[in-house]
């Protein structure tokens, strides 16, 4: 009320002064001075009227109708418009200025300013509409474009929210006014849910009781409304449930759901309930040599027949070797074995071509090119040493990988094989020596020629 009484009193006093002066000092010489004084009195009167209207419209009517205080921004805008009109009226009617030019100029200036400040004005009016509508208030939590936070400030230009990471996000009001916002009002209850699953073998009511007990006595959960649990679906390997509980502070949602999940685990554990996980029936198949041929299109049985070191094997032994092996496919340029790496398998090239390469001081040297039916990797397999060279697929290559288990089986059944294997490895080592001085990635190959037989016996535990 003080805001009205004081201007009203000053206005009354100024009008009294005006009339008194006019009564005592009236004369044509003073006419212009009186007009200015009168204009001044009208300015005071206008201010009083604007203040009275603001008080009447916003502090009384708006409050009564909406039950909340009118936004400050709205009051400021209303006052500004009123003062602008008042200014024009006094200029035109009291001071007798021609205001048409001024109105036209100000309209043109407004258009220019309007274009220049398009974004700012957009934000301003969006801010004004947000202030009038008040879809959210300070301390409410809002979700906007997947970001959630508590509203900290709402100015005429932007709205700032503080996230749970304690960072502040500032959204321009024009953006907020255009897109949907999810609002979680402060001091309202917010329902949350945690999904979990239970075995089919346990009665739903038992699970529901266990889950509800898990949600009790948590600091972030309110018990004005009790937590409930319900079935949401029948899954592949479990019955799916959700636990519903209520929060006072939406910003605590993440911590509350984590605490509830933890409690659920303990409650399930105590009750001897398992958290089901998807189960699959895996069919393990013994591959027939014929099947392998069908799947890859390569006759690996014939490939084994064509390899010298496997000549002494019986037909049954060759079949056994095939069932213990696997087919691998390599792209052109791919390393099938890498020099210096450990290896306990050998390979037969079923289809494709490979380069055996050694490198010394950055220069590469091709030791051999292996074609379909060729084999590699036997040196590490029989010696236990790291790979002696790189073997790289020159074109798309399909190889049969024979693991240590397969060879071990053969050697145990046919001790003669060890001699044959050692001969081949020795021959290959001799070629490697000619190239690159027996180096592989700078390291000397440690396997000594002629001693393979003993090594093979030792590695494969042959007596
Ligand atoms: P390993 O040492 O296990 O890995 C690299 C392979 O390259 C090696 O086994 C041999 O199989 C192969 N290799 C090495 N030298 C030769 C060679 N001179 N001719 C053919 N292949 C070879």
Residue 257 pLDDT: 94
Q: Residue 185: is its pLDDT beyond 70?
A: yes
Residue nearest to atom 12 of ligand 1 (CA): 376
Higher pLDDT, 320 or 198: 198
The band of 292, judged by pLDDT with boundaries at 50, 70 and 90, is low
How many DSSP H helices and E strands does the chain contain? 16, 19
**Beta carbon of 313 within 6 Å of any ligand 1 atom:** no
Is residue 337 pLDDT above 70, yes or no?
Answer: yes
pLDDT at 442: 44
Q: How sure is the predictor about 196, in pLDDT bands with cuts at 50, 70 and 90? A: very high
Give me the mean pLDDT over the 27-39 stretch: 70
For ligand 1, the distance from its centroid to the CA atom of residue 364, given in whole angstroms, is 15
Best residue among 371, 376, 397, 459 to mutate for probing ligand 1's pocket (most ligand atoms within 8 Å of CB) is 376
Q: What is the mean pLDDT of residues 321-326?
A: 88
Contact between residue 348 and residue 334 where contact means Cβ atoms under 8 Å apart: no
CA angle 58, 63, 65 (to 5 degrees): 110
Give the number of the atom of ligand 1 that is nearest the alpha carbon of residue 429.
15
d(CA 32, ligand 1 centre) in Å: 116
CA distance 7 to 49: 9
Q: What pLDDT is stored for residue 289 in this prediction?
A: 59
* 67 vs 153, residue with greater confidence: 153
427: its two tokens: 């021959």
Q: Which of 25-34, 69-78, 311-320, 331-340 shows the lowest per-residue confidence on average (mean pLDDT)?
A: 25-34
**Average pLDDT estimate for 372-384:** 89
**Better pLDDT: 2 or 145:** 145
Which residues sit opposite 366 in a β-bridge?
357
Ligand 1 in reach of 376 Cβ (< 6 A): yes
Average pLDDT over residues 55-76: 79
- Say yes or no to pLDDT of 148 above 80: yes
Distance of alpha carbon 58 from the chain centroid:
46
The winner for highest mean pLDDT among 127-141, 146-160, 271-285, 424-438 is 146-160
Residue 392 in contact with ligand 1 by CB distance below 6 A: no
Is the CB of residue 369 less than 8 Å from the CB of residue 322?
Answer: no
Burial 383-392 (b: 16+ CB within 10 A, else e): bbbbbbbbbb
Mean pLDDT value across residues 65-78: 76
Distance 340 CA to ligand 1 centre (A): 12
Q: Is the pLDDT of residue 445 over 70?
A: no
Identify the top-confidence range among 23-37, 119-133, 148-162, 415-429: 148-162
Query: Under a CB-based contact definition with an 8 Å cutoff, are residues 270 and 310 in contact?
Result: no
Ligand 1 closest atom vs CA 390: 5
Which of 51-65, 136-150, 344-358, 378-392 is predicted with the least confidence, judged by mean pLDDT? 51-65
**pLDDT reading at 48 higher than 60:** yes
Nearest CA to ligand 1 atom 18: 428
Q: Is the CB of 402 under 6 A from ligand 1?
A: no
List the 158-162 sheet strands across, edge first: 168-172, 158-162, 147-154, 141-144, 182-184
Residue to mutate, 344, 347, 379, ligand 1, most ligand atoms under 8 Å from C-beta: 379
| pLDDT tier for residue 111 given thresholds of 50, 70 and 90 | confident
The residue among 439 and 18 whose pLDDT is bigger is 18
CA-closest candidate to residue 75, choices 90, 62, 89, 87: 62
Mean pLDDT of 236-252: 93
449 pLDDT band, cuts 50/70/90, is very low
Has residue 379 got a pLDDT over 80?
yes
Question: What average pLDDT does the chain have?
Answer: 83
Q: Is 48 in the pocket of ligand 1 (CB under 6 A)?
A: no
Distance 303 CA to ligand 1 centre (A): 18
Token code pair at residue 117: 């400040």
pLDDT of residue 277 exceeding 90, the answer is no
């Amino acid at each position: 009320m003080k805001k009205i009484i004081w201007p009203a009193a000053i206005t009354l006093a100024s009008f009294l002064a005006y009339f008194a002066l006019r009564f005592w000092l009236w004369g044509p010489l003073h006419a212009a001075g009186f007009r200015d004084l009168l204009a001044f009195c009208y300015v005071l009167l206008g201010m009083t009227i604007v203040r009275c209207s603001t008080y009447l419209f916003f502090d009384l009517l708006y409050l009564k109708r909406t039950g909340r205080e009118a936004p400050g921004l709205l009051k400021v805008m209303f006052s500004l418009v009123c003062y602008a009109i008042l200014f024009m009226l006094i200029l035109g009617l009291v001071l007798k200025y021609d205001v048409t030019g001024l109105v036209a100029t100000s309209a043109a200036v407004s258009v220019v300013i309007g274009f220049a400040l398009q974004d700012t004005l957009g934000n301003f009016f969006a801010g004004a509409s947000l202030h009038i509508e008040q879809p959210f208030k300070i301390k409410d939590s809002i979700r906007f474009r997947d970001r959630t936070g508590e509203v900290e400030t709402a100015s005429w230009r932007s709205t700032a929210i503080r996230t749970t990471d304690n960072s502040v996000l500032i959204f321009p009001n024009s953006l907020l006014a255009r897109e949907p916002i999810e609002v979680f009002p402060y001091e309202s209850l917010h329902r949350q849910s945690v999904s979990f699953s239970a075995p089919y073998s346990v009665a739903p009511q038992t699970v529901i009781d266990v889950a509800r007990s898990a949600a009790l006595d948590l600091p972030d959960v309110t018990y004005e409304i009790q937590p409930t649990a319900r079935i949401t679906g029948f899954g592949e390997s479990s019955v799916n449930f959700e636990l519903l509980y209520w929060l006072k502070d939406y910003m605590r949602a993440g911590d509350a759901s984590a605490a509830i999940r933890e409690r659920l685990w303990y409650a399930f554990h105590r009750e001897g309930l398992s958290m089901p996980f998807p189960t699959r029936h895996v069919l393990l198949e013994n591959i027939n040599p014929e099947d392998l041929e069908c799947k890859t299109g390569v006759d690996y049985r014939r490939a084994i027949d064509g390899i010298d070191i496997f000549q002494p094997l019986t037909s049954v032994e060759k079949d056994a070797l095939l069932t213990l092996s696997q087919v691998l496919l390599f792209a052109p340029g791919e390393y099938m074995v890498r020099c210096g790496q450990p290896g306990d398998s050998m390979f037969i090239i079923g289809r494709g071509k490979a380069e055996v390469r050694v490198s010394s001081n950055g220069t590469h040297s091709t030791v051999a090119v292996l074609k379909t039916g060729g084999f590699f990797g036997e040196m590490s397999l029989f010696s236990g040493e790291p790979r002696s060279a790189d073997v790289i697929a020159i074109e798309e290559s399909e190889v049969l990988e024979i693991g240590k288990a397969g060879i071990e089986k053969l050697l145990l059944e046919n001790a003669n094989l060890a001699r044959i294997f050692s001969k081949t490895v020795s021959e290959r080592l001799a070629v490697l020596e000619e190239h690159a001085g027996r180096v592989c990635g700078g390291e000397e190959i440690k396997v000594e020629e002629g001693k393979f037989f003993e090594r093979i016996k030792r590695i494969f535990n042959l007596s």
